[in-house]
Amino acid sequence: MHNQDPRDHEGLALNPIFTRPGERTEFPRFTLRKEESLPETAYQIVHDQAMLDGNSRLNLATFVGTWMDPEANRLYLESADKNMIDKDEYPHTAAIENRCWRILADLWHAPDPARSIGTSTIGSSEACMLGGLALKRRWQHTRRRHGLPTDKPNLVLSSAVQVCWEKFCNYWDVEARYVPISEDHRVLDGHDLADYVDENTIGVVAIMGVTYTGMYEPVLQISQALDKIHKNTGLDLSIHVDGASGAMVAPFLQPELEWDFRVPRVASINTSGHKYGLVYPGVGWVVWRSAELLPEDLIFRVSYLGGDMPTFALNFSRPGAQVLLQYYQFLRLGFDGFRAVQGASRDIALFLSREIGKLEPFELWNDGSDIPVFAWRLRSGHERHWDLHQLSDRLRMSGWQVPTYPMPADLTEITVQRIVVRSGFSKDLAMDFLEDFREQVAYLESLSAPLPDPQPTPGYHH
Ligand SMILES: *Cc1c(COP(=O)(O)O)cnc(C)c1O
């Protein structure tokens, strides 16, 4: 968790201009200082260190919200003290949390949103854990009712799942059965599914907006494959939709696409409020089609205005402000506003993918027409003195962060580069980016000898 830095044994030197009379000019780096310091001094030290981080608006790698209205920023400051778990102390924040997941249940076509159940979380990772735990517990109950063993649960998912699902399987002792993606099956699409499921399968995960590429997995088609398995074997399996990005895009941009509770096998859906929910980092959501799908024995009761408030979460304390910010966005944008914002991001993604696809060295993997995310690779069969990692490095010179990484099993020999278009990345910024991109590609193409091998760069985390 900690890399050695040559300065580790040195103190933290302060610019004398910031020190006040009597203050020392060197602070210890890894031990708590004995004396106090002035708030201005402490502020300056933290501010200056954080300033060296990249500019989040130029970060085309992250899915996470980096821009909100000034009014949202004001609300954030006003509500920074609210703890989401203190339902008793902040009953109105608790009521707003309920309104938010009810809005999502409705947006995702729950047959009777009043009979759904849901919660906010710290992000999709926690939401996926909860969705997975509910699948596992339901499977255990069914097995026990029939006097069958419950020691070997497995979960079926695409090899391109986000790392939170690997964690879920590892932390909760569930065997992960990965269906590898390939050139022919670029996402989990239901093919050969029968080879992966058995009586110990707790469910199937479908991803709306695969992190590697932004592509949707065809939930309806996966469900139809499961219908066939049900008919042939009697196994009746549920789907959890990981809609970290797509669950806040598809309702607005692809309203006809059936991926949500319109598909009867979909038991639960999660999303990241802080991705295309357009909130700063720290909020996710999970909703179950109906309350029976969330086993009662996973729910804890906390006291709430003398009444009782069911909770299902991994964390106890967490920020309440982000939940208020989510509600702010729901009020601020409404359906039409969300459609406009996501539509603008998709138009920019399509524009950029079209322009990048026109450049000779590249071949698009997808074009950003699902969620506004797309990836490309180098066209093969052409000798080159450079690779995508070196292009990422060159783009970094003008501040752009564009990740390059290998695809998951069984496509690890393919390296792609990817852009996430988010609210706040305007057409103008996109054109600036494109100009820098073309310039760096022209530079690399003009090389008459290979660049030295790139330094091994730290792994990219999806
Ligand atoms: C980002 C992402 C996650 C993890 O979400 P966090 O909100 O970052 O915890 C899970 N699944 C998918 C598909 C994602 O894109």
Pair (298, 192) in one structural domain:
yes
pLDDT for the residue 371: 98
- What spacing in Å lies between the alpha carbon of 441 and ligand 1's midpoint? 31
Pocket test for ligand 1, best of 269, 275, 286, 370 (most atoms within 8 A of CB): 275
How far is it, in rounded angstroms, from Cα 253 to Cα 335? 11
Among the atoms of ligand 1, which is closest to the Cα of residue 462?
Answer: 1
CATH number, domain with residue 277: 3.40.640.10
Residues lining ligand 1, Cβ inside 6 A: 63, 123-125, 128, 162, 164, 207, 209, 211, 242, 244-245, 272, 284
Residue 266 resides in a domain: yes
Q: pLDDT by residue (tens digit) across 306-345?
A: 667 788 999 988 999 999 999 999 999 999 999 999 999 9
Predicted TM-score of the model (pTM) = 0.93
Task: Output the residue whose Cα is nearest ligand 1's atom 6.
Answer: 124
Q: How many helices (H) and strands (E) does the chain have?
A: 10, 15
Q: pLDDT confidence of 301, banded at 50, 70, 90?
A: confident
The CA 244 to ligand 1 mean position distance, Å, reads 5
**Is 268 inside a domain boundary?**
yes
Is the pLDDT confidence value at 277 over 60?
yes
Shortest-distance atom of ligand 1 to CA 211: 15
Res 409: pLDDT: 82
**Which is higher by pLDDT, 61 or 7?**
61
Whether residue 181 contacts residue 407, with contact meaning beta carbons closer than 8 Å, is answered with yes
Q: Which domain holds residue 323?
A: 73-329
Choice from 120, 122, 125 to test ligand 1 binding pocket (greatest atom count within 8 A of CB): 125
**Do 157 and 220 belong to one domain?**
yes
**Confidence band (pLDDT; 50, 70, 90) for 6?**
confident
Please, what is the end-to-end C-alpha distance for the chain in angstroms? 18
Average of per-residue pLDDT across 188-199 = 96
**In terms of domains, do 311 and 418 share one?**
no
d(CA 243, ligand 1 centre) in Å = 8
pLDDT at 452 over 90: no
Q: How many domains does the chain have?
A: 3
The pLDDT of 9-34, averaged and rounded, is 76
Determine contact, residues 247/206, Cβ cutoff 8 Å: no
The Å distance, Cα 162 to ligand 1 centre, comes to 6
Spatial strand order of the sheet with 404-406 comes to 362-364, 373-378, 415-420, 404-406
User: Distance, CA 64 to ligand 1 centroid (Å)?
Assistant: 9
Tokens of 64: 């996470």
Banded model confidence at residue 455, pLDDT cuts 50, 70, 90 = low
Output the CA 445–ligand 1 centroid distance in Å: 35
pLDDT of residue 35: 87
> What is the model's pLDDT at position 440?
97
Q: How far apart are CA 270 and CA 130, in angstroms?
A: 9
Q: According to the model, what pLDDT value does residue 456 have?
A: 55
State the pLDDT confidence band at 285, using cuts at 50, 70 and 90: very high
For 311, list phi and psi in degrees, rounded to 5: -135, 150
| Mean pLDDT score, 248-256 | 98
Q: Is residue 297 part of a domain?
A: yes
Residues 104-155: tens digit of each pLDDT: 999 999 999 999 999 999 999 999 999 999 999 999 999 999 999 999 999 9
The number of the ligand 1 atom at minimal distance from the alpha carbon of 64 is 8
Residue ending a domain, choose from 329, 362, 388:
329
168 and 299 housed in the same domain: yes
Nearest CA to ligand 1 atom 1: 244
Q: Are 310 and 234 in a shared domain?
A: yes
195 shares a domain with 127: yes
What mean pLDDT, rounded, does the chain reach?
92
Residues 78-103 pLDDT 10s: 999 999 988 888 889 999 999 999 99
The reported pLDDT for the residue numbered 454 is 57
86 and 180 belong to one structural domain? yes
Which residue's CA is the nearest one to ligand 1's atom 14? 244
Q: What is the pLDDT of residue 3?
A: 67
Does residue 176 share a domain with residue 112?
Answer: yes
